[in-house]
Chains A and B, each alone.
Chain A
Amino acid sequence: MLLDRYIPPPLKEDSDFFIRKTRLSQLSVNIIGYTSLIDLPRTLELLHKQAESGTVADLNAEAFMESFGKPVKAPDESTIMTTVTRGDILLYFSEHDAFISVTPVPKVLTRSIEAPTTENVLRGAISSLVEDIETNIGMIKKHAATQQLRVKSYSIGDREGKRLSLLYREDKLDLALLRAITGKIESRLDWDVKNLQQLSDMLGFSRWSFVTRFNSTELPQEAERGLSQGKAILLLDRMPFALVVPSLLWDLFAVDNDHNFPVLLMYLVRLLRIVGVLTNMIVPGLYVALVSVNPDVLRIELALSIARSRVDVPYPAIVETLLLLIILELILEASIRLPKSIGPTLTMVGGIILGQAVVSAKLVSNLLIIILAATTISSSTVVGFQNSISIRVFKYLILLLSAFYGVLGLLSGLVIICAYLASITSFGIPYLHFYKPKGDSRG
């Protein structure tokens, strides 16, 4: 059999791989592909319909074959392998010894559009992006119904051929930024990109950064906001997130849904988020600074009541704070891992039982429990989970400096963090920049 010499040996072993013989018009055809990726009956049906509409008799053989799909020139083992792996099927016309690659009816392997799982929407569009890149592009296009939207798709990776799409609005995106992004992608098309770390490397961002350079969002609405602000959106196949570049400081505090509230309430809510971030970073450090280094700052009544609550506590303030902070981080991390049905149990054990027991065991002071509760709650006011992790890390810097230098250390910690944030740039755009679209003269 002629077909045999084309088929790579690994495929022959693969039980998912099929060869199906059929006849289209008068020609005998072998269909090859993966069962798991193709809805075979419906694909066959389509092929037969196509064959009826234009038979070999009407057209010449070549035109007939090309009416199904793209002919594969110079077929060899590797091209067959890639085509099949991509999820396409190949028609082998044995009389003509020719391969035609055809896009079949695929099996539905993507979940349907659902509500977001990592971002809550109170008011606004609730549908979230899914794993399928085409669906995602379609959803974003629905939200950004404009002629100016451009999509550039790349197939990246040495062998695997993963899809990466770049979306931008031609009237808003700065040309230099566009060139920088496309330049980076196009020069590294052969890189394997499976996760955001690799994508970050591809775009040339530093690996040792505490701040994510992508503002990832599940919501097409947020993606649209990025677009109309003159940012670029990257979509990676099988990644249910839109990645907005550049990600800037203000993205920590603002989401598009805010605009569905009255303006004053919007500003108040954003102020609340800023307060939350500051609380989370400052409060544990402040506690340690005030309790062990600069108690003179406190009012006398407070100083006495803190001293009273710490009477039998054996460890210095920094140790007890670190102890409980680490336990809290463990609870946060554990509740991500746990199934949703067990989550509340963990919260209860962690929050109530541990908190109560640790105080009555005199390991930490009462006040510290309040401090840490405030810290943990406020760590989640920031927009985007990836940002909340950065904030959680910064907290420890301030905590350590406060333990060393007191209130002065706390202030210098804040200065260091500001300096660090100011030093970050992505594609030449500073992290602290207030971004505005091309040609916008406001501000």
Chain B
Amino acid sequence: MLRFGKPAIRAAAMLILAALLSGCWDTKDINHRVLPVVMGLSKVDGNYNMFLQIPEPTSDDSKMRIVSDSGETVSDIVDKISMNLESQIDLLHLKVLLIDRKYAEEGINDSITSFIRAQDISPKTMVVICDEPLDRFFDAMSKPDNQESTTLVHFFEKNAGWNPQVAQTRIWQMFRSIHSYTNDTMVPIIRSDDSTVIQSRGSAIIRNGRMVDRITPDDTLMINIFNGHSAQGKIEVMDHANVEIVSNAISHKSRVAGNQTFLECHVRLKVTILETKGEPSVAQVKWELEDLLRKRSEALLAKLQKRKADIVAFGQHFRTKIPRDQLAKWRTDYFPYTDINLQFQVIVQNEGNLKMRKH
């Protein structure tokens, strides 16, 4: 064995090498980094416009500032802004990527792909579409009343302000939507609002990274039910009652006959009744709710089939049943013609909260 000096010398050499190899002088402390939480991106005539919302680490209250610039590519703009700021921009803490609606309709494949490949933005970052020009949105955000720097972040966070009528989509899901044959996604749409800072405006249907249509908050809830995203806490309004969904379970049965695809979809909802108008019976509420859900989802699915965007990911159930070369045509040749049979089963729980007739 090659002996290299005394143990003490060896230990010292190892320590020095460890320090040298790591390039530890390049690390910057957290107070010398700028941590933008929201990035706004729009595209005008092939040029990108970027807005960054940066919380200011001042010792008193949390303040934020908004910087913007434009350029040929995203990294080019980040470089430009970084050069003009006193600290280095660290995009790893980016929580929300806000995309201008026009750019989304044009297709955001390039940006999403480069974010995923370059890895300086976390794939967990939320993607959101802004329903008004970005400069107006950020102007509203930077009003003195709205100086809370993490408002937009909390709006989409499951343990904070999120609720099931709002879609929740991350960059990796957009990336999947671009490349998967059978999986599309929806992206929440927001705009600024005078009283609540942010106003939810439903969701965009994204097909292959391009916004093709939009749906209402109620439809967003339906899709969240189909995707098994805890629909908990959601209140459903009908003519006679207001219910809260406690839990939902969904099961699918898929079948292929020739070129025709069949899907049976069984949704089981456990709900509890919160409020009633008049004196409906439990059975009546249950029946009405099942009917309402079926009608609503049938209309929604018809819309999706028309747009050829499979945001409920029904195609996943056919991945083993359709040959791969055919699967590539799932969105155009199969999904619009799939025979979907929906069944809703509602179970009313916690009847003790409200005294109601059974039948």
Contacts and interface: CB of A to CB of B under 8 A. Distances in A.
Interface string A298-314: 00110110111011010
Contacts of A291: 29-30
A296 B30 contact: no
B213 interface: no
Interface stretch (A92-100, A242-250, A256-264, A401-409): A401-409
Interface residues of B, number: 27
Contacts of B27: 292-293, 316, 406
Nearest to A403: B24
A185 interface: no
A284 interface: no
Interface in A306-361: 306-308, 310-311, 313, 316-317
A379 to B, nearest CB: 23
A400 B35 contact: no
Contacts of B19: 404
Interface in B22-49: 22, 24, 27-31, 33, 35, 37
Nearest to B24: A404
Interface stretch (B89-97, B199-207, B295-303, B330-338): B89-97
B13 to A, nearest CB: 15
B18 interface: yes
B150 A301 contact: yes
Nearest to A306: B30
A295 interface: yes
B55 A304 contact: yes
A145 B331 CA distance: 83
B29 A292 contact: yes
B95 A300 contact: yes
Contact of A304 (B7, B24, B57, B92): B57
A349 to B, nearest CB: 27
B92 A295 contact: yes
A304 to B, nearest CB: 5
- Where chain A touches its partner, the secondary structure class is helix
Nearest to A406: B27
Contacts of A403: 24
Contacts of B24: 403-404
Nearest to A312: B59
A310 B58 contact: no
Nearest to B21: A404
Contacts of B35: 295, 300, 303-304, 307
B153 A292 contact: no
Given A300-B35, A300-B95, A311 B30 contact: no
A401 B31 contact: no
Interface in A255-298: 290-293, 295-296
Nearest to A318: B24
A292 B28 contact: yes
B59 A311 contact: yes
B122 interface: yes
A230 to B, nearest CB: 33
A290 B27 CA distance: 11
A350 B58 CA distance: 29
A219 to B, nearest CB: 36
Contact of B31 (A290, A313, A405, A409): A313
B153 A308 contact: no
A383 to B, nearest CB: 29
Contacts of A406: 27
B37 A405 contact: no
B62 interface: yes
Interface in B133-156: 149-150, 153
B15 interface: yes
Interface string A192-231: 0000000000000000100000000000000000000000
B31 A303 contact: no
Contact of B30 (A295, A301, A400): A295
B101 to A, nearest CB: 26
A290 B55 CA distance: 18
B152 to A, nearest CB: 11
A304 B62 contact: yes
A69 to B, nearest CB: 53
Contact of A300 (B18, B22, B28, B153): B153
Contacts of A301: 150
Contacts of A310: 29-31, 57
A311 B27 CA distance: 17
B29 A316 contact: yes
Interface in A392-406: 400-401, 403-406
A295 B15 contact: no
Given A301-B150, A308-B57, A311-B58, A292 B30 contact: yes
8 contacts: A300-B35, A300-B37, A301-B150, A306-B30, A308-B58, A310-B30, A404-B18, A404-B19
Given A296-B93, A311-B31, 15 more contacts: A292-B29, A295-B30, A295-B92, A300-B95, A300-B150, A304-B57, A307-B31, A307-B33, A308-B59, A310-B29, A311-B59, A316-B29, A317-B29, A401-B18, A404-B18
